[in-house]
Structure 1
Amino acid sequence: MVSRLLEQRWPVTATLSDSTVTQRDKQYLDLKADQWGLLEELCTALKPFECATVFLSGDKYTTISAVPPLVQGLVKSTQSAAFETAAMQAFQRTAKEQLQQRWKNDTTFSETTPSTVILSSALDPRFRKLKFLTSEQVFNVQNKIQTYALRVSQEMHAHDNVHDQASSTSTITKAASGSTTLDTLFDFGTSSEEEQREVEAEDLQSQVRNEVLSYFGEKPLAKEENPLHWWKANEYRYPTLARLAKTYLCIPCTSTPSERFFSAAGNIASRKRASLSPEHLDMLTFLHCNAKFVSQCK
């Protein structure tokens, strides 16, 4: 709105100053020169906020992982731009304080209450270096990622072992029946099955640790690249982290996509279509939101 008003400054001024068009008691509505100057500075200061808002409102790309870098960029924008008026200087100070206060939990990491936003940034190859955090916080994030990755790896391993449980049980039974007295002497209270589980657990920990170290040791991906495409191409290198990334990077950081969906449903379920069944309403909403994919299938 401010940008559009500045574009139409001279037509607006000409209209308000023309006595044949505007009544004399309404000519005070025209802004003074210092007020126009204040609007120009305000438009410049709000431009980064508009850019960040539009980007984070998207639903065709990953957004949640970009929140901490964008917040850091907005804070820098309030410090870099120098304005002459006292009002804009006060705006910069207030904007910086509000950004740091409102986004504190998503720009600093705590081990007790880990931020989903920061974990998403760590799993985004564009921001994996986590330059918006301190060295200690980066180390804590990597440890937390390793803990979650180990949990995912254990779940995957347990799922794979379900199919082999019957055959492994029969093998262990045969081995136990053929054990000798010497085998019994070497047994220190730990069965071969328990030893096998311990070895597998150590192997999983080592595999996940190497996977995490290798991932964070790589160079960051270019900002214009798609992190989902990168994970698709490198899933074979980081299978555990890839599965973890799918869980986090799909989260939208704003409610805008959901609001668009409900707006579409509201437009479809109008008074003229009050007889639509819930099933048909769901179908029409789905087709409306995925119309471009329907055209590609033809």
Structure 2
Amino acid sequence: MQATSMLQRQVDTITPNSSAPARETMHEPQAQRRRTEDDKATGGLSLLAMYDEILEENALRHREEERPTKPSTTVQVLGYLSEPPIPRDQDPLHYLASNCARYPDLAIAARTYLSAPPTSVDSERLFSAASDVVDDKRSRILCEKAEMLLFVKMTFAFVKKKMLIPPQ
């Protein structure tokens, strides 16, 4: 029951009085969300653990409401949970995008919570290289010198490959 009511609360907080078509907003990027007390209340459950808990609750058909929710949210959540689950190897975002007319609030909430955080390997690699260049031993290095060292470090492998310099 905790997972179902938590899902209803999260959908309510994300979708303020909206039953507007979610298809137009399905492809817009969502701003990062701050951690809330509800996140801490889940006890650190993983996504699969919460998914399994929702499936167990759905199988038992126990309905208990901790706090009143919007009628449309309750109808959407209960309707979604009454459907047979999709296989774990299928994309839930694709499923909700194709069913966003039936579950507009859930589609918005799913885009927020099921999306992978954006990342850039190149920028992570650059920060890692920067931590090698500027460390405790070289903490007083000037910015210009650090930039030059980073440039040399990051382009050396490329230049070496292009010039076919044999490895040492």
**TM-score past 0.5 threshold:** no
TM-score by length of 1: 0.25
Q: Larger % of helix: which?
A: 1
Task: Point out the structure with max Rg over C-alpha.
Answer: 1
Of structures 1 and 2, the one with the larger relative CO (CA 8 A, separation 6+) is 2
